[in-house]
Amino acid sequence: MATIPPAKPRILVTRKLPDEVEARIEKDYDATLNETDELLADDDIIAGAQGCDGLLVTPTDKCNAALVARLPDTVKIIATFSVGYDHIDVDAATQRGISVTNTPDVLSAATADIAMLLLLGAARGAYWGERIVREDRWGAWSAVYPLGYEVSGKRLGILGMGRIGQAMARRARGFDMEIHYHNRSRLPSGEEQGAVFHETFEDMLPHCDFLSIHCASTPETRGIVDAQRIALMPDNAVLVNTARGDIVDDDALIAALQGGKLAAAGLDVFRNEPDIDPRYRSLDNAFLLPHLGSATIETRVAMGMRALDNLDAYFAGDNPGDLLNR
Ligand code: DGY
């Protein structure tokens, strides 16, 4: 007698994903894909989730407590296509018995590359120079204008020395920078590679000619880069953010860039993306990118595969490798 193959798990995939990832989804899942890549409203997510066993979401899907409460009982896992998971209320999911997973590791190199690009570009005024050439406003070469800031020999403070922070440290060492870091816990001495640990963020700030943010957005870190803390940095320091926009107080950062306390900022992430604080657009000393941290072909495929590994493990009855529920 022919055996009936077990039904494939049903999942809702909220955004368009790379072709290779969607091919694997279609092979292994009974999936609703988002061919148009348009953002789904909460009601669309709830409607699409009916009868589903799991959701594959991205940072644009705000899975807050209200949305989690509305999910049908059939949904048992939310796998996010991102390392950051501040868009998901994990506690609310846990209370409903829903597992939550993310995609760490695979995007560390790509994100650290963008942080380094922003650091160099902000220090040297690359965005400004590019615009001058493009707009045909390039004057004669001058010995005194425009001048940026040297990177070599300067001190880089890293806030959050996880995988991305460590990848940033490796890159910055290649540019002869001295590494300082603040993290919840100190790295094992064999992994510090000369980086100077600071018990508190405030202790590190006076050593930051450059500050690169690599911590998660949590209730403890939201708004942590505020006016008082920026004041502790050396004059003409440069701030780089590839983590989350809400870690920085926009009013404080914009005032520091306008007033000259900070020489420049390189920002890949913003509060309320893509509707960012419009004041950033008029700042010549702000190098702005549209959340490109993990945006390489290789990394986006790897993120998708990692999210699927987590879903596969869950539906096979195993513990997903990247389970976030405590
Ligand atoms: C993440 O994975 O959290 C990134 O911000 C998405 O690029």
The ipTM (two decimal places) reads: 0.97
Q: What share of the chain is helix, strand, coil (3-state, %, to 5)?
A: 35, 15, 45
Domain ranges of the chain: 10-106+296-315, 108-288
Across the chain, which has 326 residues, the per-10-residue mean pLDDT values are: 83 98 98 97 98 98 98 98 98 98 98 98 96 96 96 98 98 98 96 97 98 98 98 98 98 98 98 98 97 98 98 98 97
Kindly report whether the peptide bond that precedes residue 320 is cis, defined as omega within 30 degrees of 0: no
Residue 135 annotated as catalytic: no
**pTM (predicted TM-score):** 0.96
Q: Look at residue 133 and give its three-state secondary structure.
A: helix
Q: How long a stretch of residues is the chain?
A: 326
Alpha-carbon torsion 181, 249, 102, 60, what sign? negative
Which amino acid, residue 213?
A: I
Ligand 1 centroid to Cα of residue 107, in Å, is: 8
Residue 182 annotated as catalytic: no
CB of 325 within 8 A of CB of 94? yes
Residue 26 annotated as catalytic: no
Rounded to a whole number of angstroms, the CA Rg of the chain reads 22
CB of 99 within 8 A of CB of 75? no
DSSP 177: P
Residue nearest to atom 4 of ligand 1 (CA): 82
CB of 275 within 8 A of CB of 250? no
- Considering only CA atoms, which of 168, 182, 166 is closest in space to residue 120? 168
Does the domain spanning 10-106+296-315 belong to CATH 3.40.50.720? Answer: yes
Alpha-carbon torsion 271, 185, 173, 110, what sign? negative
Residue nearest to atom 3 of ligand 1 (CA): 84
The Cα–Cα gap between 162 and 185 comes to: 10
Which position has the token pair 């390489």?
A: 296
Predicted confidence at residue 145, as pLDDT, reads: 92
Hey, what are 128's tokens? 């400004």
CATH of 108-288, one of 3.40.50.2300, 3.40.50.720, 3.40.50.2000, 3.20.20.70: 3.40.50.720
**Annotated catalytic residue, options 291, 298, 300, 326:** 291
Q: Look at residue 109 and give its three-state secondary structure.
A: helix
Could you tell me which residues come within 8 angstroms of residue 119 by beta carbon, excluding any fewer than 6 positions away?
Answer: 151, 156, 172, 210, 212, 238, 240, 266
Name the H helices within the chain. 19-28, 42-49, 65-70, 90-95, 108-124, 126-134, 163-174, 189-192, 201-204, 227-231, 250-259, 297-315
Q: How far is C-alpha 219 from the geometric centre of its chain's CA atoms? A: 16
Q: Look at residue 148 and give its three-state secondary structure.
A: coil
Q: Is 111's C-beta closer than 6 angstroms to any atom of ligand 1?
A: no
The Cα–Cα gap between 163 and 215 comes to: 10
* Residue 132: how many other CB atoms lie within 10 Å: 14
Residue nearest to atom 7 of ligand 1 (CA): 294
**Annotated catalytic residue, options 87, 124, 155, 244:** 244
Ligand 1 centroid to Cα of residue 72, in Å, is: 27
Fold matches, 10-106+296-315 and 108-288: yes
- Considering only CA atoms, which of 108, 81, 117 is closest in space to residue 267? 117
Q: Is 293's C-beta closer than 6 angstroms to any atom of ligand 1?
A: yes
Q: Phi first, then psi: give them for residue 271, nearest 5 degrees.
A: -60, 140
